[in-house]
Structure 1
Amino acid sequence: MDTSDPPPLAVHRLRLISDQPVEGCELVPDVFMLNGISPLSVRLEYKWYRCMDKMACSWCGKTPVVMQRLTDDTYFCSTQCFLNAWPGHQAQHRIGLTVSKGTGDKFHGPGQSNGPEASTEQKWIEVANTNAYTPTQEDIGHTLKLACTPYHPDGSKGIAKTLKTNYVIAPPPPPPPRRMLIVRNNVVVSVGKPGQFRTNMNRLGFTLVTYNCLAEIYATSEVYPYCPAWALPWNYRRRNILRELVAYHADIMCLQEVQADHYENFLEPELAKYNYAGLYKCKTREFMGQYGKMDGCAMFYRRDKFSILPGGAHDVEFNSIARMRHGNDKRLLNRLLRDNVAQIVAFEVNMAGQTHPGGRRQVCIANTHINASVEFADVKLWQTQHLLMEVERMMTQISGSINTLPMVLAGDFNSLPGSDPHTLLSSGGVTLGEASDLARDLHGVVRDLPLRHALPLRSALATVGAHVNASAESHELQKMEPPYTNFTAHFVGTLDYMWYTYDRLSVGGLMEMVEDRLVQETTALPSPTFSSDHVPLLAEYYFKR
């Protein structure tokens, strides 16, 4: 008979995604029990504490601190604050206020709290008894501690575990609001006020933003070593991204690299508070694991301004098209199955009692994320061609032809200006040859494609005066695209576009590009201020007829 004692009920380890807590960013611990017991099967008690000692700049009181003066254990947030406090340090030596052993007396500059520093024992105050905790402004400069205690069914305590964090820092201030460039006849004529994203409320039109949000599954320190590790997790970046999206007041949002669980648990419910409805299409990546950890495309639209036409929402799965067209060619199919998707939605503008000479106004919006791999230039072109064919089919289904319905095609095309997909979109066709990306179609991916389309498309950012590249002297539209929409330490270039049917829509305004100095002051994107490696683009469109 086995008389040995049962294994103890104990918390083996506690873990946070980041050791650096930030004010306003929720902390949710992972709990690991001893002997592999599921934490879901145990009653756990959580208690969060704040250390009463404060670590902040001894001169101005700000965080984070980057320098420590070892002689008196003071901290500073910048070299300037260190220099500002230096006369006080000299005064310590002149008037004999240097710390004496055992007294704990210190010389304090402006903004430094005395606190319970005389004792080496840290004192803590309880701030929450919940599983998750969101640091508040009162926590800035203080260390946090989590105590997790398991309980037996009879109510007796098991063995607890504690975890201490770094001191809480304040998030950096948001970047200055970007301005709208007012456009008339495809030329920028003036600049609007910061933060105002409609240039003419009297004209019937809409604003659209496209933004690759950088899914958390790709936001790693290995890929972005220059970005502070605490600024990469979604629980930090989501606040910046939401603030940006809400500030633009866009009528339609086309988002890429939206993680499925982040759409369902955050973006969709949060944007619903601002009167947006959403549509989501996840990539076809079943082999990656659970559904929530895959990314996809999301489209949001203002419920008071738009309604979806009957049969007007269509998802594009490039994998499905490949299987339908090349199901018998395993070699070709393996090259084409890249999991990318797109959304095509036909809207009707809610006139709200208004009348317009053109009658009811409808518009087709497409949102996509084309394959990113540089080794698959043929697949990029294949996907772009099939997306155009799907758009044309949808427009014909809604309006009877491709010649009447206004259309905007936005997203991350992962194609540089002048590439084959860009040429196909901007010129209506592309010819393979020495000047193209595909001098030879080695895999036979595009040999049966028309490599043309009949939509009159123009890139919104190829507008004279929109940025440094958009010169009136340029006669090639592909040279008028912005210098970059994606800016990392290993790549800088334009990958994101907003194509529109220029015979049915006109551009009334464009959001100016981000200032280079803001992007480069932390090496590249993403950064604590800009939470994606792409910059959002916004355009205002007017109906022509």
Structure 2
Amino acid sequence: GKESAAAAAEAGPVNAGGFAADELVGPEARALAEAMRRPLPLRRPDREVSVVSFNMLLKSFEQKPEYPEVPRALREWGWRKQHLKELLFGLDADIFCMQEVECLTFEEEFAFLSECGYASLAPKDDSKGKHPGLAKPSIFYKAERLEKLWEDHRSRVVLAAFRHRASQRLLYVASCHLEGAPWEAAKRFAQAKKALDSVRKQMLKDEKERGVDPATCGLVFAGDFNETEDAAVGYCLRNGGLPSSFRAPGLPEEELTKQDYVHSFDMDDLYAREGSRHATFCAPAGEVRRRGSIACDSTPTFAAIDFVFHSRNLRPTAARLPFTDAQLRATASAGIPSEWHFSDHVPLGGVFELVSEEGRGASAGPAVWCQ
């Protein structure tokens, strides 16, 4: 009954063959977890690439005060790591744009990536060991399908350039986890701006040194923006820049940029294609952070703060539905993390066809949603 489940939840790891959290996972939870692992299949691997973005919730969550209503057994890293491994291998994406990957323990905790042919851009510890639990963005990729040509690690973004081996096309990728404080809209915009400028600089270098026309290169800019679609970063990516007059929602007095900012990337928002925005995050009922205070929510809090933007010479052929209907119902009652999902975010992403320059903008319509 409830008493035995509560006891199991507080007991910590059980014998070497399993975890205390396994006692909480019934058939319905297993089905929901399996649905979260559904893959994004490629129809034409010679000219397609699959990209998934996911904030995994940092390893040290088990020691953090956030979400006190989540039982200790569900916070335990060993259990969460096993489910993370199953999720990554189930999704089977060519590229994972990851967030909240712990720096100091990366080599030992993610050694399993090589089991399925993944290489990685390990998160960089810019604190030089002063913050043992420090977590950063990272990128995992299938080495047999992609050759890494360049990488750049910034405070909140990791950037890379890959050559798609089958088509020889270049793909630039940004995995970002922008500033989390709700009132720091200017910082989030500055972090995105510097990342875009770095990609542009590298594209021009590749044009000069490799003879690659930037117009033929794809770009995916994905991750946890920590703000909604109507805020500065989304506006900037969709509209080719940000005017100095732009003000973030809820911050009418805050200047985000002194001068108009313009970039040269022609980009689409993968999840704007359905009209309504899909939630990508849900905090459990309980304490919710507000500016300068703590408020209490009696129901789980859904939000859409994770995004996948792509250049228009990448044609989406499939997109992942962040929550299935059954997962939405389960999450609405208790939030996540839960017995069927180990993070407060869910994966999102899609399959992109590397189209020719002549195919730019010649969209075949909305991507097929993978239920």
Q: Structure 1 length normalisation: TM-score?
A: 0.55
Matched position secondary structure for 1:415:
coil
On the 8 A contact 2:172/2:219 being kept in 1, the answer is: yes
1:269-321: CA deviations, max 9, x gaps? 1011111111112353358534xx21111111111111112xx22222xxxxx
Please list, as runs of the form range in 1=range in 2, the aligned pairs for 1:43-62 lying within 5 A after superposition. Answer: none
C-alpha distance in structure 1 between counterparts of 2:229 and 2:63, whole Å: 28
SS in 2 for 1:372: coil
Structure 1 residue 383 displacement after superposition: 1.2
1:501 to 1:303, Cα distance in 2 relative to 1, 3 A: same
User: How much does 1:531 deviate?
Assistant: 0.5
User: What SS does the corresponding residue of 2:202 show, helix, strand or coil?
Assistant: helix
Q: Hey, what's the Cα distance between the residues in 2 that align with 1:404 and 1:76?
A: 56
Return closer, same or farther for 1:433/1:220 CA change in 2, 3 Å cut-off: farther
Deviations 1:488-543 (A, max 9, x none): 033431111111101x110010112213113234x111112111111111210001
User: Partner letter of residue 272 of structure 1?
Assistant: S
Report SS of the residue matched to 2:217. coil
**How many Å separate the matches in 2 of 1:432 and 1:396?**
26
Q: Counterparts of 2:308 and 2:136 in 1: how far apart (Å)?
A: 18
Q: Report deviation, 1:375.
A: 2.1
Counterpart of 2:308 in structure 1 is 498
What displacement does 1:433 show? Answer: 3.6
Shift in alpha-carbon separation, 1:278–1:287, aligned structure 2, 3 A: closer
Asked if 1:285 corresponds to 2:127, the answer is yes
Q: What is the CA–CA distance in structure 1 between the aligned matches of 2:118 and 2:129, rounded to whole Å? A: 32
Deviation at 1:481, TM superposition (A): 3.0
Root mean square deviation, CA, Å: 2.9
Paired residue secondary structure (1:418): coil
What is the CA–CA distance in structure 1 between the aligned matches of 2:15 and 2:40, rounded to whole Å? 32
Is residue 302 from structure 1 mapped to residue 238 from structure 2 by the alignment? no
Instruction: Please point out which of 89, 92, 103 is paired with 1:260.
Output: 103
Gap regions ≥5 residues in structure 2: 8-12, 289-300, 357-371
Does structure 1 retain, via aligned residues, the 8 Å contact 2:42–2:48? no
| Residue identity in the other structure for 1:457 | M
Asked if 2 retains the 8 angstrom alpha-carbon contact of 1:206 and 1:541, the reply is yes
Relative to 1, partners in 2 of residues 1:283 and 1:463: Cα closer, same or farther, differing over 3 Å?
farther
Aligned letter for 1:241? L
Structure 1 stretch 391-400 or stretch 432-441: which is displaced more? 432-441
SS at match of 1:461: helix
Distance 2:242 2:39 in 1: 39
Where 2:23 maps in the other structure, the secondary structure is coil
Report the secondary structure of 1:296's partner residue. strand
How far 1:233 sits from its partner (Å)? 2.3
1 or 2, which has the higher helix percentage? 2
CA-CA distance at 1:388 after TM superposition: 1.2
Identity fraction in percent = 18
Kindly tell me the number of residue pairs found equivalent between the two proteins: 325
Q: Gaps (5+ residues) in structure 1?
A: 1-64, 69-74, 78-131, 141-165, 180-193, 317-339, 465-469, 471-479
Which amino acid counterpart does residue 282 of structure 2 have in structure 1?
A: F
Query: Does residue 516 in structure 1 map to residue 356 in structure 2?
Result: no
1:540 counterpart residue number:
351
Partner amino acid, structure 1, of 2:170: Q
Shift of 1:256: 0.5
| Structure 1 counterpart of 2:281, one-letter code | N
Amino acid corresponding to residue 162 of structure 2 in structure 1? F
Which has the higher relative contact order, 1 or 2, with Cα contacts under 8 A spaced 6 or more apart? Answer: 2
Asked if the contact 1:240–1:529 (Cα under 8 Å) also holds between the matched residues in 2, the reply is no
Deviation by residue 1:219-244 (Cα, 9 ceiling, x = unmatched): 55631122112111211211111111
Q: 1:344 maps to what in 2? A: 159
The Cα shift of 1:257 comes to: 0.2
Q: CA contact under 8 A between 1:227 and 1:528: conserved in structure 2?
A: no
Contact 1:221–1:227 (8 Å) recurs in 2: no
For the 8 Å contact 2:147–2:162, the answer to whether it is kept is yes
Structure 2 length as normaliser, TM-score?
Answer: 0.78
Which amino acid letter does the alignment assign opposite residue 299 of structure 1? I
AA aligned opposite 2:186: D
Separation in 2 of the partners of 1:254 and 1:439?
Answer: 32
Gap change, CA 1:136 and 1:541, over 3 Å in 2: same
Rounded to whole Å, the distance in 1 between the matches of 2:63 and 2:92 is 30
Distance 1:246 1:544, change over 3 A: same
Indicate which of 463, 485, 490 corresponds to 2:280.
485
